A and B are shown apart, each in its own frame.
Chain A
């Protein structure tokens, strides 16, 4: 048997035969995920394809995350179409306020090592933090998978990403991810999987690994996969539904490219407008005035993100600077509940932050708060394309939760390592 990557192993298992990079594999999927942005169209395709039933209703889930809550009667009509379909065919529906699709799958313990997950959302790759193959597709592929339980995939070559060195204080997973986007480029991982290795991985909790996988799409990656280890088990403890089969790469597996990143000397990063690969060390962006800070999304909307942001905000003075609008949007109900229970949301509220409905929030301009004309936004999200948040005249900067928290306090882009103002 030839040595194989994690991608080759998972896709071989799902194809029922040994497959290697470059081959087309017909794979059986474990979970199919749709969002409110992609499911109405998938339902159209399903019906046009002559779909009669779901291959397995327990493996199909729809989440209302992009339009949470629906901003108009027309959007509400799209929601209703999905509700009716889910009820008719028995699929699980996570309505407004539940959370972002793949985040919910992970929280429910259904995203397990060795699984194959397809989702009609590019950031489905986030779930690869759990040692599985998760990839984004469009609505038509989703519809075909809803009917057949299968997806055809070209088995991707993998890029071996090795993280070495010692993690320093205030170095966030987001900084590592942005550094990788810069190093690999916006299409550097096109058609490929990022597979993570190295002694520094153990320094990152599962939630943080999700951040690194999430930004894989900004390099065009088809999937982004971590090994299974103590952090995986810790996350899955008490959640796991079903059996997992951790997958490791063979020692002599062949990679398209190998990249090593020593995180010891990495400083916090910022992506400047209007592309996620437009990344600079924070020193080069420091001082840029900002008028809106957005904490949330499938990149920076989990519990530790808000904890880090709040701690940094306190260190940098403890109040939100005048003229700065602070928006907080938890990625899921579970995140929201934990933050309510531990007082984090209350603390943000007392600082004047606007707490919005669980979901994608302001990320792509479809719900929540739209930036006003001409403002600079600092955000924990993954994309800063022009007009991404619904206003073409706003400029979006991306950074870690800590950098966002510190900057909210100062009103300008601020290095979270430097910010120590005595109150």
Chain B
């Protein structure tokens, strides 16, 4: 079981990967430890400095749309954020998150506010979110098959090191 406790950092709909980290920033380096100082700078230049270890991003629809650039996932992790909760995810961001061990949680975030105390709980395939500020517990669509398998391994690198191949469970 994985349990993550942290405070909500609220963002809007259609947060594209260029907003998460600008293409101009990653042209000189793909080191996420350097890039994290510019996390979400286009939306809020002070955001990166305000992130605390354990913060959880809470967004609206279509989080991570646009470019498929994987630094968008690794830079979030480097900043100390281990889960993103959104109404929905763009598919390339979703895959990149899973492949790096960042937990993408799909649920109704409409009642969540900036700063809410949250817990994300992954128990087997079951995924849920507790919003302590709103006294809410939300059950999310479970993670299944190869997606869960990759996340259970901690990402695609450890998965590939162990399996040497892509072998979906149940096929």
User: Of A44, A71, A121, A220, which contacts B30 at CB under 8 A?
Assistant: A44
Given A121-B68, A138-B73, A187 and B30 touching (CB < 8 A)?
A: no
Enumerate chain B residues within 8 angstroms of A78, measured Cβ to Cβ. Answer: 27, 30
Question: How many residues of chain A are within 8 Å of chain B by beta carbon?
Answer: 52
Q: Is B14 an interface residue (CB 8 A)?
A: yes
A220 and B22 contact, Cβ closer than 8 Å, known pairs A49-B156, A138-B70, A275-B14: no
Task: Please provide the 6 A-B residue pairs with the shortest distance between their CB atoms, ordered closest to farther.
Answer: A138-B70, A187-B62, A74-B28, A138-B96, A49-B160, A364-B23
Say whether B50 faces chain A, with CB atoms less than 8 Å apart: no
Known contacts A75-B28, A122-B92, A186-B14; decide if A140 and B157 are in contact (CB<8 Å). yes
Query: A72-B28, A190-B91, A275-B14 in contact; A385/B66 too (CB < 8 A)?
Result: yes
Complex Cα spacing A191 to B89, Å: 10
Q: Which residues of A contact B95 (CB under 8 A)?
A: 137-138, 141
Say yes or no: A140-B65 contact (C-beta < 8 A), given A26-B166, A365-B22. Answer: no
Out of A26, A38, A45, A150, name the residue touching B69 (CB < 8 Å).
A38
In the complex, what's the smallest C-beta–C-beta distance from B148 to chain A, in angstroms?
11
State which of B67, B91, B100 has its C-beta within 8 Å of the C-beta of A220: B91
Given A66-B27, A74-B28, A122 contacting B168 (CB threshold 8 A): no
Residues on B with C-beta less than 8 A from A242 are: none
Q: Write the residues of chain B forming the contact surface with A, with a CB cutoff of 8 angstroms.
A: 14, 16, 18-19, 22-24, 26-30, 42, 61-62, 65-71, 73, 88, 90-92, 95-96, 99-100, 145-146, 155-157, 160-161, 164-168, 170-171
Bound Cα distance A137, B170 (Å): 23
Q: 6 interchain pairs (CB within 8 A)?
A: A37-B69, A141-B99, A366-B27, A383-B18, A385-B19, A387-B22
| Cα–Cα distance between A229 and B73 once the two chains are bound (Å) | 40
Q: How far is the CA of A40 from the CA of B146 in the complex (A)?
A: 25
A26 CB, min distance to chain B CBs, angstroms: 6
Q: By the criterion CB–CB under 8 Å, are A24 and B99 in contact?
A: no
Asked whether B24 lies within 8 Å of A186 as measured between CB atoms, the reply is: no
